[in-house]
Every structure is written in structure tokens, then in C-alpha cells.
Amino acid sequence: MTKFNIQRPDPAIEGAAIDRINNLTKPKGSLGRLEELALQLALIQQTLRPRLKNPHNILFAADHGIIEEGVSVSPKEVTWQQLGHFAKGGAGINFLCNQHGFKLVLVDAGVDYDIPSGSGIIDMKMGRGTRNFLHGPAMTVDEFDECLKRGARVVDMVAENGCNVLSFGEMGSGNTSSSSMWMSILTGIPIEECIGAGAGLDNPGIARKRDVLGRAMAGCSAESLIEKLAWTGGYEMAMAVGGMLRAAELGMVVLVDGFIMTACIAAAMAINPEVKHYAIFGHCGDESGHRRMLDAIGAKPLISLGLRLGEGSGAVCAFPIVDSAARMICEMDTFADVDVTKYFD
């Protein structure tokens, strides 16, 4: 398997960063989570003046064979239709990227459609969708590893453009099924407790999804963790995992989106635990199981707005909070800088 050399941020700067944060012209601790985030950013960038530059949202799209079992209300063609919609602008992720200064990067990871050349979509297609994991592996371990490499290559592209903070999004009908499978595999939570409505299943639809995924889990004969992730995953998910690992290897800030991307960062953490030091969790979404998965991996989301769109929307929406943390530590004066009496220890 591809190895990622992710270094835990050097703690040598931590004392100086805490001292600066505590001596900004405010009561100590009065800016709450912003102070925690500022410390994390200082450690990631190894500076008391962290800056967030040229943010990108990388959106991987792919189809899933498990959709053949009726586990999604969204038909397969919606994947390529929405991918084209993203390229033209006007979708949910488009207005958020426009609002917050993100460049949207679109990647065909394995859509069951021939994307026209010149559409502005990066071709990393592994195939026309994964295989149906109810009946066998969705992909081979070699395909999973190749996805890691391709996701990493996309991150290299944006890093060359001066990006040091990025989020990841996804598009793929049926991918909440793969994410539920990963959640159960990675956390030990029973599969039936990891399943929700996805794109809008009604109660009978959720019951069918539980039945299908329960049978799929029982029939999965994979032994190693990587084999299990390959058996039940999606091309776009595996590429996101590779992208997250490479971003951390490069010392970039990784903004984590909703249920599907939380499953991906959990997989990345299982491959290399040091990736978590670079991750900031944007939000807790409205998909069943998201809060439980966040709790299971010890993650603290920044916002909770009932979002369940995916696409990277929650991560991009939370970006201004992270930017505020960077601006706080960079732009506020300390008591030593100005003629204000420090009134606490």
C-alpha cells in the first residue's frame, strides 16, 4: 500500500503560541473555540502568525454498484448530471465556494458516464462505478491503492497553486451506503445503527437499506482493514482518503465535511493516525449516525445547521470560523503591544 509520511506537528512552538493567545487584548479564554483553532493552526503551520491561503474544495464524483439494490432514492444518472451542474455553476457548493473564496475542483473518480473533454472536470476515472458489494468486493485492494494515489495527485495540483487549506466533497448516488459500511467497520457500531435516509429515503426505504447492508456486512469475507474498506467503499471515497493523507503530509489544513467525508477521515486515521492533527471538523450534519461517528473518533464539529447536502458544503460553510481564528492570533494586539492594563494572570 502507498505510504504517507505524516509528521505530528512539532510541539516546540506550543508554549509560545499559548502565551500569545493568552496575552491578546481580551480576557483569557474569552474567544473560546477560536483560541483552540488558533493553537491548532499555529502548530500545523509552525508559526505564531498562521495564514490561510488560496482555499480549494476538491469534489470527487463516482457511482456505486450497490445502488442496484434500491438503497438510494437518487438514480445513478444524477451523479453525472450534478457533476455537470457543478461545472456550470448554480449548485449549492458553487454559491458557498463563491461566497468564501474557494476554488472548486471537480474530479471524475469513477462516474458511469463519458464526461465530455473540455468540461473543466479532471479525469481520474477508475471505472464506470464500483461493483455491487452485496455480491463481492466493490473494488480490489490494488484499485483502492490506486485511488489513494490519484487523490494525492489532485492535492499536489492544488498545493502547486499556493493552497494551504482545503476541504473535500463528494457526489455519488449510493455513497451513504458505503459510508455506513465504513462507519461500522471503523467504529464497531452495528451496521443497522449506522444507516439513515441518505438522499431522502422514506421509512420502508430505510428498512430495505438496513436489510441490504446487513446482508452485505454478513457476506463480507475480507480480513484486513484495507480489504474491508476496498470491499465496501467507493472510488470517490478512496480518492478523498488519499487526498486527506497527502494534504496532511504536505502540512495543509484539512476541513472535514459531513457524514461521508467523516467516514473518509476516519479511514485515513485508521491508515495513519497522525492525519487527525491536520483535520478541522466543519459541522455535524443531519444524516443519521454522523454525530455518533464524530463522537467515536473524538471530533468536535464547529457548527450544526442540519445540513446533509454533502459536496463539501458544511466544511466550506464553516471556513469563516477557522479564518477568524487565524485572524485573531495574527491581527489582535497583545497587552504588551498597547497601553492596556493586563488584569489577570
Q: In this predicted structure, which of 113-127, 133-147, 199-213, 258-272 has the lowest mean pLDDT? A: 199-213
Asked if 311 is an active-site residue, the reply is yes
Beta strands in 124-164 (DSSP E): none
Determine which one of 35, 170, 311, 331 is catalytic: 311
> What is the structure's pLDDT at 199?
63
Asked whether the predicted pLDDT for residue 61 surpasses 80, the reply is yes
Q: Which residues of 77-112 are buried (b: 16+ CB within 10 A; e: fewer)?
A: ebbbebbbbbbeeebbbbebbeebebebbbbbbbbb
d(C-alpha 264, C-alpha 243), whole Å: 10
d(C-alpha 324, C-alpha 305), whole Å: 19
pLDDT for 310-329, tens place per residue?
999 999 999 999 999 999 99
> What is the structure's pLDDT at 159?
98
Local confidence band at 100 (pLDDT 50, 70, 90 cut-offs): very high
Mean pLDDT of 78-84: 94
Mean pLDDT of 136-141: 98
> What is the structure's pLDDT at 205?
80
Question: Please, what is the average pLDDT of the chain?
Answer: 95
Asked whether the predicted pLDDT for residue 31 surpasses 70, the reply is yes
Q: Which residue has the cell 473518509?
A: 264
pLDDT for 180-202, tens place per residue?
999 999 999 999 999 877 667 88
